Amino acid sequence: MFAKGYIYTLTALLLAFFAVVIGRTAWMSDDAYITLRTVENAATGHGLTWNTDERVQAYTHPLWMFVNMGAFAVTREPAMFLTGIAVSAITTLLALALLAFALAQSPVLGLLGLTVLLCSRAFVDYATSGLENPLTHLLLAVFVWAYLRPNWSARHIGLLAFIAALGILNRMDTALLFGPALAWAWLSQRTMRATGWAIVGMMPFIAWEIFSIIYYGFPFPNTAYAKLGTGIPDGEMMMQGIHYFQFTAQRDPLTLPAIALGVLAPIWLRQPRAWMLSIGTLLYLCYIVKIGGDFMGGRFFTAPLFLATILLVRTPQKFHPLALSPAFAVAVILCQLAPFAPYQTGSEYGVDKRGWKGEHGIGDERRFWFPVASLGQWRPGKEMPTHNYAQTGRGYRQHAAANPAEPKRVVVHGSVGFRGFFGGPGVHIVDYYALADPLLARLPAKFAPDWRIGHFTRQLPSGYVDSLQRGEAALQDPALNEYYGHLRTIITGPVWSLERWKTLLAMNLGRYDHLIDPAPYRYPGLAHTELAALTEPKAEGSPANAPGNRALGVNGLNIRLPETTHAMRLELSVDSTDTYHVVFMKGEVLLARVAVEPTLVARGGLAVVEVAVPVAAIRAGYDAIRIYPRGADKQYAIGHLRTL
């Protein structure tokens, strides 16, 4: 006979062990410091800004930002390193304690829930990191605790709406997780009183949206505009989302099966109220596919995993606790099958980075940053993080402090977390991934056949850095300069001026969108030629630099066809030492693309290759072919191209 007290003791011990694991795996990500730059600016009187001369929301999680702001007010730790880790760890442990002691139907199920999460690489990786995942987990636990109470009233609907509003304020896309259950609860009442309480409960989010429009000028964070306006076709993005699932399945074999089991449990056990939580989880998984996942392997799966684990521990236990032994064994075995079991992480983790990133640009972010930004590497008096991005930022801050009379420095970078935070308010950083840049976020991403999710590079308009240095719109593109002038009115002008509010309304209604010509920024530096210039066949092995061949630049070559064709095959000759991406276009619409890796010809020279045209391009018909070279030697050439 298993006494409850005995199992609760085991649960408490496992929770303590979980705390040790969190300490051993604790780290801070570069992206977390994007938010922390805003925290520091606010604390030093510069407002909720990223670059202090612009009102731009560079963070996706306002509630998490406020939590960190409160922690910073207490600790005043200049680097926010230990503070950031502590906030994440404490929040995670609170969520785990709620799951094990308040949500689980029995002590043994609470023990199982902790075991599942402990064995998930995704969950342990983002138990810290400085990102908002821990607060999402805690709010999900509180929401489910309130949602599964036996009796609902109109006031209770208000409580559910309030918790959901905090969750959405923490990260907007979690509306998919909270929404179905909240809607079900409201529909169960369908009274004016319940509707009124629901509106009152949603006030934290409503208030934030009002503030965001007043202060920033827009209802959504700048990151949303940067990630959703890339110009990448939906089909490509969804395929990348599928790769995101595959990456997790290969490196974290427990997480996806646990999500599936948790989603199916309420359906199998006929628990209608819990079905809404399963539906929310499924909607969120579909959303992950739709947006292409993320470059951080596992990050987007922690919230659905935590919710699925709650559904598992809420299962009515109608059997002896020993019957769950196989479930514990399966969890531990799947954990051991992962390349790096979470609880085995040591101080040497990440020193060998071979294979940290998959072929589709998805990476094990904790492994990458652990040697330079982890609690295991911290020592009293040691500046953390130690990565050269942070060192670059510290150099900017030191320069600004030593030269206070100089105008604010404008520099251009990607991966701006460490650089931005440690650079301080004395430097304006142009983020060419556009997460923190308001103009670049509204331009399409530069076309790259080998693009990486979450790293959508923008082409800087001519004169942009000079405009920022001068504090006025001075772009060489007249139409874009007019657009930028309107944008500057919103993000730098007096908040309550009538001109700003007229401009703000017009821009949010899309009345200035016609001023942006996407082609020069989507395809900068693209060369053009006619097919007739490339139809003379070249022999295998002929010199790549022979007269008549065409050198290629990294920005690619657009080959216009004399008419739309449905040809099923191509023949082309290209320098045999490189890789080439062949893109099929109809007007400005990308139909399909295929990578060509020619067989290396003895002594180099041209390789003649036949290419099967993708079905999508054959069916639609294509009127242009674009060739984008990639390779180490930077010497690219094409000899000929013809349709077969």
508-524 pLDDT per residue, tens: 999 999 999 999 999 99
Q: How far apart are CA 375 and CA 350, in angstroms?
A: 13
* Average pLDDT of the segment spanning 416-432: 97
* C-beta neighbour count of 78 within 10 angstroms: 11
Q: At what angle do helices 272-290 and 234-251 cross, to 10 degrees?
A: 110
What is the DSSP secondary-structure string of 76-120? --TT-HHHHHHHHHHHHHHHHHHIIIII-SSHHHHHHHHHHHHT-
Residue that wins the pLDDT comparison between 220 and 325? 220
- Mean pLDDT computed over every residue of the chain: 92
Nearest to 508 by CA among 442, 445, 433: 442
Distances in Å between the Cα of 450 and the Cα atoms of 267, 576, 640 are 41, 19, 23
Q: What are phi and psi of 37, to 5 degrees?
A: -65, -40
Q: How far apart are CA 123 and CA 93, in angstroms?
A: 12
Query: pLDDT per residue over 329-384, tens digit each?
Result: 777 777 777 777 777 777 788 888 888 998 899 999 999 999 999 999 999 999 99
Nearest to 134 by CA among 354, 383, 306: 306
Strand order, beta sheet including 579-586 = 527-530, 557-565, 622-630, 579-586, 589-596
Q: How far apart are CA 135 and CA 398, in angstroms?
A: 34
Residues 6+ apart with CB under 8 A from 565: 621, 622, 623, 643
342: which DSSP letter?
G
- Joined tokens for residue 494: 């007096």
Matching residue, tokens 């969120």 = 284
Query: pLDDT per residue over 254-272, tens digit each?
Result: 999 999 999 998 888 788 8
Q: How far apart are CA 137 and CA 117, in angstroms?
A: 12
Could you report how far apart the first and last alpha carbons of the chain are, in Å?
Answer: 77
Q: What are phi and psi of 231, to 5 degrees?
A: 90, 0
Matching residue, tokens 């905090």 = 166
pLDDT at site 545? 86
Q: Which amino acid is at 342?
A: P
634: left (phi over 0), alpha (psi -120 to 50) or beta: left
Taking each continuous run of H as one helix and of E as one strand, the counts in the chain are 25, 11
pLDDT at 2 over 80: no
Q: How far apart are CA 327 and CA 318, in angstroms?
A: 15
444: which DSSP letter?
P
Which residues, in sequence order, are bridge partners of residue 27?
374
Query: pLDDT per residue over 539-596, tens digit each?
Result: 888 888 888 899 998 899 999 999 999 999 999 999 988 889 999 999 988 898 899 9
Matching residue, tokens 């056990």 = 269
Tell me what percent of the chain is helix, strand and coil, each rounded to the nearest 5. 55, 15, 35
Using CB atoms within 10 Å of the CB of residue 192, give its burial: 0 to 12 exposed, 13 to 18 middle, 19+ buried. exposed
Nearest to 302 by CA among 169, 454, 136: 136
Q: Where are the alpha helices (DSSP H) in 494-630?
A: 498-508, 519-522, 615-620
Q: Is there a contact between 454 and 295 (Cβ–Cβ < 8 Å)?
A: yes
Nearest to 362 by CA among 297, 314, 413: 297
440: which DSSP letter?
G
Please tell me the number of Cα atoms within 13 Å of 257 on its side-chain side: 15
Return the SS3 of 196.
Answer: helix
What is the DSSP secondary-structure string of 113-155? HHHHHHT-HHHHHTTSBTSSHHHHHHHHHHHHHHHTSS---HH
Nearest to 393 by CA among 419, 365, 432, 371: 419
pLDDT at site 53? 95
* Average pLDDT of the segment spanning 444-450: 90
Nearest to 177 by CA among 257, 265, 101, 285: 285
Query: pLDDT per residue over 202-219, tens digit each?
Result: 999 999 999 999 999 999
Longest dimension (CA), the chain: 88
Which residues, in sequence order, are bridge partners of residue 428?
410
Query: pLDDT per residue over 173-190, tens digit each?
Result: 999 999 999 999 999 888
Q: Is the peptide bond before 537 cis (omega within 30 degrees of 0)?
A: no
Distances in Å between the Cα of 611 and the Cα atoms of 551, 596, 622 are 20, 8, 15
Strand pairing report for 527-530 and 557-565:
parallel
Using CB atoms within 10 Å of the CB of residue 519, give its burial: 0 to 12 exposed, 13 to 18 middle, 19+ buried. exposed
Cα angle value 307/309/313 (rounded, 5°): 120
- Kindly report the length of the chain: 644
Domains along the sequence of the chain with CATH? 4-30+61-344 (no CATH), 388-521 (no CATH), 525-643 (2.60.120)
* Range of lowest pLDDT (233-247, 287-301, 557-571, 587-601): 587-601
- Joined tokens for residue 461: 């308009």
Distances in Å between the Cα of 411 and the Cα atoms of 165, 432, 468 are 37, 10, 10
- Joined tokens for residue 125: 């990786």
Q: What are phi and psi of 624, to 5 degrees?
A: -155, 150
Q: Is there a contact between 500 and 211 (Cβ–Cβ < 8 Å)?
A: no
Q: Where are the alpha helices (DSSP H) in 344-436?
A: 365-373, 388-402, 417-423
Return the SS3 of 518.
Answer: coil
Q: At what angle do helices 154-170 and 133-147 cross, to 10 degrees?
A: 170
101: which DSSP letter?
I
Q: Give the confidence band of 3 by pLDDT, cuts at 50, 70, 90.
A: low
Nearest to 569 by CA among 642, 502, 620: 642
pLDDT at site 322? 52
pLDDT at 318 over 60: no
Q: Give the confidence band of 1 by pLDDT, cuts at 50, 70, 90.
A: very low
Query: pLDDT per residue over 594-631, tens digit each?
Result: 999 888 776 678 999 999 999 999 999 999 999 999 87
Q: How far apart are CA 172 and CA 43, in angstroms?
A: 25
- Joined tokens for residue 627: 């060739």
Query: pLDDT per residue over 42-101, tens digit each?
Result: 999 999 999 999 999 999 999 999 999 999 999 999 999 999 999 999 999 999 999 999
455: which DSSP letter?
B
pLDDT at site 340? 76
Nearest to 327 by CA among 261, 242, 240, 241: 261
pLDDT at 137 over 50: yes
pLDDT exceeding 70 applies to what percent of the chain?
Answer: 97
